[in-house]
Structure 1
């Protein structure tokens, strides 16, 4: 499967870019690299590293928990709304299966949404307009306000 990227879909859209990734482990580092590369021209004021960490966690969850009888992909889209950055990760899993866990110290897994909850200003999980699930997060003040 080919990886695809869509940047600047149209001048009137708040969407800054999108990635379509196969549901494999190699998609996680690729999503980090591509996001870092394609968000750079937008001169974010907020930490790109924080965004990259959260994308990594959500793409990992999408790859691990996405389920379909048909071939499927993980979609990542990012949007600018005023000074806020919103990132969405879509997969064919069930929205009801997305839950914030409080793992024990010796648990090896289960901290992805806890990190999202701790770092992002807000996050949401629900039905995706592509079918399946979308998990999104927002980073307020990602850009300075206009002068």
Structure 2
């Protein structure tokens, strides 16, 4: 399986890195490891563990809900926007299907976006520039 990682070669760009992942369960721990490794040189002040948890949830959702008749990949990108860190997860699903749920206590699933909503300073979903859906979160004051 081919996976890719890349850092933006342009030092003025706010993009710090990106990865593409196959839509398989093994990609979730891979996304966590790679993000931790490639964000470390930037020394963010925000909790990297919180970011890793949210990435896990969003990559899991992207794998579960991404749909395409063609082979597809999940794309994760992270950016520095001033003092904030923004992480985007792209898949070929439908933007209108992203919604925050409040599952009952006995439900085993449906808490991913609820976690993102409670940890991130903000989050957004909508059409992806790559086609499909993007769900992103922002950690404010990631760089003081």
Q: Fold-level match, TM-score > 0.5?
A: yes
Aligned-partner Cα distance in 1 for 2:8–2:62: 24
Counterpart for residue 10 of structure 1: 10
Secondary structure of residue in 2 paired with 1:58: helix
Taking structure 2 as the reference length, the TM-score comes to: 0.98
Counterpart for residue 35 of structure 2: 35
Aligned-partner Cα distance in 2 for 1:71–1:142: 35
Deviation at 1:9, TM superposition (A): 3.0
Aligned-partner Cα distance in 2 for 1:94–1:122: 21
Provide the aligned length of Structure 1 versus Structure 2.
Answer: 144
Deviation at 1:118, TM superposition (A): 0.3
Structure 1: runs of 5 or more not aligned = none
Structure 2: runs of 5 or more not aligned = none
Counterpart for residue 121 of structure 2: 121
Aligned-partner Cα distance in 2 for 1:108–1:117: 18
Moved over 4 A (4+): none
Deviation at 1:8, TM superposition (A): 3.1
8 A Cα contact 1:28 1:56, kept in partner = yes
Deviation at 1:110, TM superposition (A): 0.1
8 A Cα contact 1:9 1:16, kept in partner = no
Counterpart for residue 136 of structure 2: 136
